[in-house]
Homo-oligomer: A and B are copies of this chain.
């Protein structure tokens, strides 16, 4: 037996297809008794409106794409998974459904009229954004800012986070503070790097070459970089890492060198991911409300699709330092 259509329901219930359609889209514009007959017929036939035909007639799909612009071994890491979850949760209850993919893959399968809007997470390229805008598809950016584009961007307060970390470390008496930067997106890297330089300078502290070093985005690479850093005679007394995985690498290196945490070395991470409370000592970290960022994406997208003109162009989500044992001054 084939999928029933609106015609089958029309025939069985004895009303026109228009009325059947109305019954499903604007029930209040149909007389109660009619509505009941239609529902009964629909139920008997297991009828459900065809999403395809509806999209065809209305010229819209009610679908939003969530595209991750990121490379590397893991695309959907804890950070982006949390954002995605936020988007999903806010999409729930709306009529919108979520398509998930990578930016790369999306461009491969170019088709028009696929989606109503797109959320670009991470390091979105300018030409990708332009292409969507040319097609009049609303774009929202998350964890990135796009210079020269008129669209909502949702970012964490990177500078504020860095400031909190450095202030905390300085007030705990640290002077030699190093920063371990993974290979993050240009936006994140420059935001944090510049903030670090500013805050250090403001406090009369210098950042020499050893003060900010780069490593790959995995724990081994971080461990190796930290081993080199901490073996120097002028080793820092505190290290601020770009995420919690890198911070774990630093802790590992410290232990290997026989340094005590936090007495000999304070460590602070970023993201406040699920590992922080598992570490020994527990890892201080900047809490980023990724879930909220995802929710904001969807909220702003919904507003855009609703024709709102006052959607904020930049939303900075506050972050806050969770001080734990890895950086707490000994009592």
Contacts and interface: CB of A to CB of B under 8 A. Distances in A.
B74 A85 contact: yes
B97 A3 contact: no
A46 B105 contact: no
Contacts of A75: 85, 88-89
A278 B112 contact: no
A131 to B, nearest CB: 10
A134 interface: yes
A50 to B, nearest CB: 4
A212 interface: no
A219 B307 CA distance: 44
A215 to B, nearest CB: 15
Contact of A3 (B53, B84, B105, B135): B135
A110 interface: yes
Chain A, interface residues (CB within 8 Å), range: 35 or more
Number of copies: 2
Contacts of A54: 111
A78 interface: yes
Given A245-B278, A278-B252, A84 B76 contact: yes
Given A219-B278, A248-B278, A50 B111 contact: yes
Given A3-B112, A97-B99, A52 B59 contact: yes
A14 interface: no
A43 B88 CA distance: 35
A211 to B, nearest CB: 25
Nearest to A255: B280
Given A56-B56, A135-B3, A51 B61 contact: yes
Interface in A76-103: 76-78, 81-82, 84-85, 88-89, 91-93, 95, 97-102
Contacts of A59: 52
A128 interface: no
A139 to B, nearest CB: 17
B105 A92 contact: yes
B88 A101 contact: yes
Contact of A275 (B61, B98, B275): B275
A9 interface: no
Contacts of A81: 76-78, 81
Given A55-B56, A78-B274, 12 more contacts: A48-B112, A51-B61, A51-B113, A52-B52, A53-B56, A76-B82, A81-B81, A97-B101, A97-B109, A98-B101, A248-B278, A275-B278
27 contacts: A3-B112, A3-B113, A47-B112, A48-B111, A51-B61, A51-B114, A52-B55, A52-B56, A63-B99, A66-B100, A74-B85, A75-B88, A76-B82, A76-B85, A84-B100, A88-B101, A92-B102, A92-B105, A97-B99, A99-B100, A245-B274, A245-B278, A248-B278, A251-B278, A255-B280, A275-B278, A279-B280
The 8 closest A-B pairs by CB, nearest first: A248-B278, A81-B81, A51-B111, A48-B112, A50-B113, A51-B114, A56-B56, A76-B85
